[in-house]
Every structure is written in structure tokens, then in C-alpha cells.
Structure 1
């Protein structure tokens, strides 16, 4: 009798574990879809096609909308997807910038930055990341697979515009993290500097932060849910979330980098920029923009943003 009860107890325990595991895997798949599959995101405000005259960056956005753009394309680094970019030349300038959009943003959403760099005398190349805008793809990579695509864009830029180009890599939010991840790669000597605006320390850090902020998720069940999501991401996208680390890549970087972050950023918390800043090995500058929320430093301080960018880049590019 005792042996039968013991077996029933073990069977009940096994069934319970299987059911709980199933619930967590199901939840992990749900959060993977929310975080990594392209589509409407309720937690994002999105971009309006209409530009209001009250917009502090109205003139920059209107210039971009009216300006003629070339369309460039490449195959992704893994050969799976066709990627598309805008290219805007600046006469015969040998200064070029690659502008990297944020999470679910497109090359068209980066118009104010393309205008800014045009005013500073730069050619601009703005790719749509995988699965965003006109670029093909199944999943949002948060910058980790995209970093290798950017290296291909670099090589195309040099092939088309010549080896005398001096190149800056600039990104905002996910684009900022992508720029930092790119900085740890072996790059052509023509890459002279980086500018990252409100990028995160790692993909895992950012997803854990959003799980806590957006869903009010406590330490449990945030762990093990994020670990399960990480495993799903490894199967579908090709890397564990913790592998997508800006900090690890910055440890390999010896090129100059300007770090920008809004003082009131809660989406990518401001505290992350200090860890990123400490990690890089090259010349560096940091500007925490007063009263600026996520990706709003330029809109909040357009003149100072331009001046800081111009002053920093003038030290390394002529």
C-alpha cells in the first residue's frame, strides 16, 4: 500500500512539473513573439507620416522628405535576406556616416539625423535593419546579427565611393546598441569614430528591464521566463540573449566614441550609459542630455546636440 501511495505521489509530482514547464514554455513563446517578431507593438508610440510645424525638428524632417534618395541593397551577412538602404550623397564629400535605426524603426524614421549629418557635410547611408522597413527578415535581432550586416554595408560603401572615405557609425536606441556591437568587430581603417545615442548594455539586460517595467514582472517569474525566451531566441535567431552584449564588444573597441543618453530615459534606463562608457577602450566623451526621454535628446536640445556632435567628430575626421 505504501509503495502504491509513493508511486502516486511521484506521478502527481511529475505531472505537475510537466504542466508548469508547459506553462512557462508557452509564456516564453508568447514573450518571444512580443519582443522579437515584427509587427504592431502596443508599447511603442510609433512615427507619424505627418510632420507638425510645432515639431522642434520640423525643418530637418521636411528637408529629408523632399530630398532625393538613392536605394542601395545587399544580401544579409548570412545570405538569407535582401536588405535595403537610403543613400544621400553630399557633393564630393569624403566624409560618410552609416545611420542605424532603432527597434521597429525604418530608414525613413531617421530623416532628422540624415539631415543633421548632411548639414555637417556627410554622405549618409541608412539601412533598414532585418525585418524592418523594406528589408527582409523574420525576427528582430536587437543588433547582434545586424552587426555583421553593417560590416557588409561598410564594404559596399567603400567599393562604391572609394577607399578615401572617412566613416562614422551612428545609431539611436537599438541602432545605438548595434553601433556598439559593431565597434568590437575587425573593421576597415576608414571607420574613424562611433556615436551611440541611448543604446542598451545587452539584449538580455534590456528585455529583463522591459519585462519588469512593462509587465511589472517580479524576479520570479522573470526568471526563468527570460532564460526560456533566451533559449527560444537561440533556436530561432541564432544567439542567446546574453551573447548580444554591447559591453563585451566595447571592451574590444579602441576607436573614439561619443555616448549620448537622455537623463529621463526609462525605456533604456540612463544608468546603462555609464556602464557602456566605462567599457570602451578608445577615446570617449559622454553627454547626458537634461530632461530628455528615450531617443529625445536631439529633439529636446537640437542646437547643443548638433554642436556636440560636430565638435566631437572634428577631432577625428577632416
Structure 2
């Protein structure tokens, strides 16, 4: 009898962990999609670019040049997002008018980029550093480059920025602490998520080359504060995907950061605010 009980417990444990692993596989599965719009949709010329992450993943990007400019910005979409997302395309003219060339990037396993798995801001740091290396090869000094990311892209920008010497970071609707976010959101996304939460987090940690417990951008925000890199945090209190508390955590880690607390807008919808371009431009001008 004890042997049967042990077998049953082992079977149940493996099944429990197996369900958690299936959820992690779903969360990290590729999301390919061909562009539905381009920078031409907002009246700007562009070229298609193929570059490599620092670990060799092929990445698709668009480059919107500004002739004679020494400044550039990298725009980074979120989880399940693409370089042609409306909030990215509508932001390009703000940078272009301010004299920045703009690189719009499809992160690994999204859009037209290669890569087997999305990792919620873990491996994606290598994508962004690959983009920075590409800009350097084009002659751009990193102290003239701004990183601007949304949601997971914002977390990725924060994690990639320390030690690079970039000019500034703009973080919209991103997260400061991925494990904390997942603990709150898993029950919303997955049936019986409250019960499965430990299995999902453990499976994520044991997944090859992926540790969600290491994606805690509040740590890098504190490092950016020490380095004196300007940070602009944009977040709506009505965000139902990444709660506003995540912005509060970032602001606590970097008290001198600029914080724009919006009302009446959803996740990554700040670009619809009538003051968006003005506020972003003011931050860029102050960061030069």
C-alpha cells in the first residue's frame, strides 16, 4: 500500500509540473506575423534591415533615417507585439521630428524575426544589445541613442541599458518585477491558475536558458539611477494588463525618474493622449 501511495504521489506531482510546463510553452511560443503597416503609413521613408542578436538570432527591423543626424532611437514592442504596432508607428514621427533616426525592432520569435521562444524579457536583452551593436556599426555613438520600449519591451530596455552608456530610456507600461506580475496575472490567464501558479513558475525556472525570477527590472532601474541615465516612466492607472503598481515600484527604485501617471487609458495607449508627443519631446530635449 505505501508503495502505491508513493507512485500515486509521484504521478500527481509529475502531472502537476507537466501542466505548468505546458503553460510555459504556451507563454513562450513564437508569434509570427507579416506587417500590416509600415513607417510609410505615417508618411516616412524606411529601409528593411536584418541584424543579429548577440547570441546569433536573426532579427527583422525597419530603419527610418534622418539625414545628417547623429542621434537614434530604438523602439521595442511588447510580448506578442510587432514593429508595426500602431503605438510604435505613431511614435516614430515624434522622434523623427526631433532629429532621431529610428530603428523599429521585431524581438525574437515575434513578427518576422527568427528564434524559437519568447522569454518575457530574459533572452530579449540580447536582441536589444544586438540592435545597439548594429547602430554602432552605422556610426552612432551609444550616448546618442535612446531606448524606448512598451510592456515587455520596456522591461527589456531597462534590463539592457545599464553599462551601455545610452542617452536615455523611455519605459511605457512595463513591469518592474516579473515574478510579482505573474503571480497576480496567472489566475486571470489560466483556469485554476491560482492552484497552478507554483508549478508554472517552477517550470519557467527550469526551462532551458530562461529564468523568469531573474527578470526584475527594478534592479536595473536602480543601476540606471546610479549611472545618471535619464528615465521616463509612462503608465496608466487603468492598465489592466500590467498594473500601475509596477510603475510605482520602478519609481521607488529610481526616485529621480520622470513619471507620467495617466488616467483613462488602457495598456500601451498613452500615444492617444493629446499631450503625448509634447511630453515625450520635452523629455528628449531635457536628456540631450
Is 1:92 the counterpart of 2:68 in the alignment?
A: yes
- Quote the residue 2:168 is aligned against: 193
Structure 1: where are the runs of 5+ without partners? 1-7, 41-45, 51-60
Distance of 1:92 and 1:32 partners within structure 2: 45
Aligned to 2:22: 30
- The residue number in structure 2 matching 1:175 is 153
C-alpha separation in 1, matches of 2:117 and 2:252: 31
Q: Distance in 1 between matches of 2:31 and 2:132?
A: 28
Kindly report which structure 2 residues correspond to 1:32-47, keeping only aligned pairs within 5 A, or say none.
32-39=24-31
Partner in structure 1 of residue 11 of structure 2: 19
> Which gives a bigger RCO, structure 1 or 2 (Cα 8 Å, sep 6+)?
2
Equivalent residue, structure 1, for 2:210: 239
1:208 alignment partner in structure 2? 183
Select the residue among 268, 271, 282 that pairs with 2:242. Answer: 268
Partner of 1:296: 269
Residue 164 of structure 1 deviates from its aligned partner by 8.3
When Rg is computed on C-alpha atoms for both structures, the one with the higher figure is 1
Equivalent position of 2:280 in the other structure: 309
Separation in structure 2 between the aligned mates of residue 35 and residue 252 of structure 1, nearest angstrom: 29
Of stretches 219-228 and 305-314 in structure 1, the one that deviates more from structure 2 is: 219-228
Tell me if the contact between 2:143 and 2:167 (Cα under 8 Å) persists in the aligned partners: no
C-alpha separation between the residues in 2 aligned to 1:229 and 1:163?
36
Matching residue of 1:69: 46
Q: Relative to structure 1, is the Cα distance of residues 65 and 315 closer, same or farther in structure 2, using a 3 angstrom cutoff?
A: closer
Question: Deviation at 1:31?
Answer: 0.3
In the other structure, the counterpart of 2:259 is 286
- Note if contact 2:153-2:174 (Cα within 8 Å) is conserved in structure 1: yes
- 8 A Cα contact 1:181 1:249, kept in partner: yes
Alpha carbons of 1:312 and 1:258: their partners in 2 closer, same or farther (altered >3 Å)? same
Provide the C-alpha distance between the structure 1 equivalents of 2:127 and 2:69, rounded to a whole number of angstroms.
Answer: 24
1: CA distance between counterparts of 2:72 and 2:12?
53
Instruction: Report how many aligned residue pairs link the two structures.
Output: 283
The normalised TM-score by structure 1 is: 0.81
User: Cα RMSD (Å) of the superposition?
Assistant: 2.4
Give the conservation status (yes or no) of the 8 Å contact 1:197–1:260.
Answer: yes
Call closer, same or farther: CA 1:163–1:220 in 2, change over 3 Å: closer
Q: Where in structure 2 are the equivalents of 1:99-178 lying within 5 Å?
A: 99-109=75-85, 110-163=88-141, 166-178=144-156
Give me the whole-angstrom Cα distance separating, in 2, the residues matched to 1:84 and 1:19.
43
Residues of 2 paired with 1:218 and 1:108: CA distance? 32
